[in-house]
Amino acid sequence: MTLLEVRGVTKEFVTRGEGARARKTTFTAVDDVSFEVELGETLAIVGESGSGKSTTARIAARLLEPTTGTVAFDGQDVTRATGKDLSSFRNNVQVVFQDPFSSLNPRYTVERIITAPLSYQGITPKAGRTAFAQELMERVGLNPDHCRRYPAQFSGGQAQRIGIARALAVNPKLVICDEAVSALDVSIQAQVLELLMRLQRESGFSYIFIAHDLAVVRQISQRVAVMNRGRIVELGSCDQVFGAPEHDYTKTLLAAVPRINPEWDARRRQKAAR
């Protein structure tokens, strides 16, 4: 079943150079991008810096409106949704960002951070906020007794788990991970990836997973879209795209990553599936 459908999306940014007489210029960051995300799958978006991955993700999450094109969720066009339709969409689509600390309010306790999405909706959890936050903390592998602590009292990997718990609070159908593990040490990265995969097995939601580390992408996703200069140049199963890339840009991208060793990668995937 198709959960998210992005059709012909283009995003233009108007920028102005320095000085009073500077001319406005239009820059196309995302150019006629189309893709679908099926329920329960992970679609990765890869590409070099500036290729338009984050802009695409922000449009998919309706944090940004496209210049042209449409975004549909569960069969409903949400491109220009407002009010209740937009807030219901925002419950269903959550985003986990790269830098956990900058996306967590340093002045709030973890309990408040995790339950904030519910507060915005005016929902009070039946068991109470503390029990709700503690349950989510346990689910993401954090000590529930630490729910009155502040973000600065956690490590980077733990802080990213808090970001994930906050995303899960509203029971989303799609979680967009925008370089969500990129800032973490390799061993912590592996643990957070395991967590993301376990949560998906338990809850059956979908991911859009943006990353520049192709080994990570191969481990977590079933399909991958390759972006270059705002366009999707190749989209297919990971086996197809990584095993027999068709586009020259994908070949260049893969050639730049000596870390993808097929045997090592197969072992990692087997381990992850256990």
Ligand X SMILES: Nc1ncnc2c1ncn2[C@@H]1O[C@H](COP(=O)(O)OP(=O)(O)OP(=O)(O)O)[C@@H](O)[C@H]1O
Q: Does 15 bind ligand X (CB under 6 A)?
A: yes
Q: 135 and 109 in contact (C-beta within 8 Å)? A: no
Q: How many residues bind ligand X (CB under 6 A)?
A: 12
For ligand X, which residue of 9, 44, 52, 169 counts as binding (CB under 6 A)?
52
8 Å CB contact between 37 and 43: yes
- For 126, phi and psi rounded to 5 degrees? -55, -45
Q: Segment near ligand X (CB under 6 A), from 16-24, 43-51, 154-162, 214-222?
A: 43-51
> At closest approach, how far in Å is the CB of 227 from ligand X?
6
Does residue 235 contact residue 223 with C-beta atoms inside 8 Å?
yes
Binding-site member from 3, 43, 51, 161 for ligand X (CB under 6 A): 51
Q: How far apart are CA 53 and CA 179, in angstroms?
A: 10
Q: Is the four-CA dihedral 129, 135, 141, 144 of positive or negative sign?
A: positive
Q: Does 29 bind ligand X (CB under 6 A)?
A: yes
Does 66 help bind ligand X (rule: CB under 6 A)? no
Should residue 55 be labelled a site residue for ligand X when binding is judged by CB under 6 A?
yes
| Nearest residue to 238 via CA among 224, 248, 253, 254 | 224
Lookup: tokens for 41: 């799958």
Is 262 among the residues that bind ligand X (CB under 6 A)? no
Q: Name the segment binding ligand X (CB under 6 A); options: 53-61, 161-169, 200-208, 248-256.
A: 53-61
Nearer to ligand X, 111 or 179 (CB): 179
Would you tell me which residues interact with ligand X (CB under 6 A)? 13, 15, 27, 29, 47, 49-55
